[in-house]
Structure 1
Amino acid sequence: MLHASSDTAFGRTKGHVLFVSRQRIAGRTNGSSAYLLDLAGAVRRAGFTPHLLQPSPDLMGRWPFMRMRPEMGVFESHVIRGVSRIGDWVVARDPRVGLDALRAVLSRLARRLGLQGSLVSDRPRPYAIAVPWTEADRAFVRQRASGVTDIVIADYAFQAEALTLLPEHPSAIIMHDLFHSRTGQADGRDSVADLDRETEIALLSRADAVIAIQSKEAHFLKVQVPATRPILAPMA
């Protein structure tokens, strides 16, 4: 059950909802980010307090910095591991991110000039959403979740690890997509996430509920993941 309404440092609230995500979110820049922000807005309008916790610095990809758009203010708190904040700007502390960004720019310029070979090849960063969890990621969640979690919502099945770390709280997973059905397809981001059917079912089964955006995915949950409650929400 949710904790009772209480007065906290964040004001009076029905409870705190912790979103755990490893996607790069700076605003409504793509469909998955927009959906997460809409869901956080729905949580706030219902009288709860949304928080965003991002335990992996890999989400920066090859972006050494990014600017948070005004819509990110829907979250009462937003913490990313491995970055520094300067006003609305987030800056990666790992110098390799900046070097990778420079390498990508030089590689693109070299190819435009007609140069070829391994020295000008582009090497994408790992798909941050799906990279294996590290002990540093787990420790960050354990530390930062305290005091801001009555419900935990994992953004994508790959974040089901967060539910295991916070087993005492009601939980949900935002499905976004059925990954095993598109294994090997380009994702349009830094790389492709491979997830087989059995592993995806096992990850989704860790949640009390799974939020599906499409009816076919909700049907899959009802038939194949009976341990969890499917919630069909095309709009947050």
Structure 2
Amino acid sequence: MERILEQAPRFFSSGNMALLLEAAGLTLAMTATGCLIGFFLAFILVYLRQTPGLWAMPLRWICITYVEVFRRIPFIVVIYLVLFFIQAVTPDASLFTIAVIAICLYAVAYTADIIRGGIESVPRTQVEAAEAMNLSRLQTTLTIVLPQAWPVIVPPAIAFAVSFIKDTALVSQVGVFELTFRGKELNNQGYSGILVFGTIALCYFLISFPLSLLGQHLEKRLATPRGQRRARKIRRT
């Protein structure tokens, strides 16, 4: 404790705080960019996976295989696979780009199942009614299915992004200057590990907690009237 109290004034200097703030911004940027791109690509993957017809069976199997494989590979392994592959193709690629690509690959696999669950929660009769009105499959998906699936998709998707903020610490293993990497640097400069990583833990909390609140807010806003009445009834009891 005496060591922590002695080092605290030097540790919380403007230079160190600027360094941690920059690292926190990089962590948030990686997560937001990777998850948003991955979320968009997951929509495409789910759309292709649900393509009807015998001719599309190989396509459906490719999509299913991708999801099943990447859901069972540790994220750190995905990072190294992307690192070695990208460096073999384009040696000048930045570590930030490599990290974002790895996050995208991982996010696609996990959010694809979230999106598929949301789409399949829409009653089949809605799709049949759209088909009876001669709407195309894409029109049905965009105008009929997705607006009803959003309340099911958004809350777990945001929960995944919040949990993934913590997993971005693994990209420090390949030299990305995010929060955990900067924490290691400060610890190597002689600062107490409790002081350094206690501050890093607080930074992760300050990044993820507002996103959790956003998820709860969107869950309430997107809830159906029936679900809102049920929630009020539960609170009263």
> Shorter-chain TM-score category?
under 0.3
TM-score, normalization: structure 1? 0.24
Q: Which protein has greater RCO, CA pairs closer than 8 Å, 6+ apart?
A: 2
Point out the structure with the larger helix share. 2
TM-score, normalization: structure 2? 0.24
Rg larger for: 2
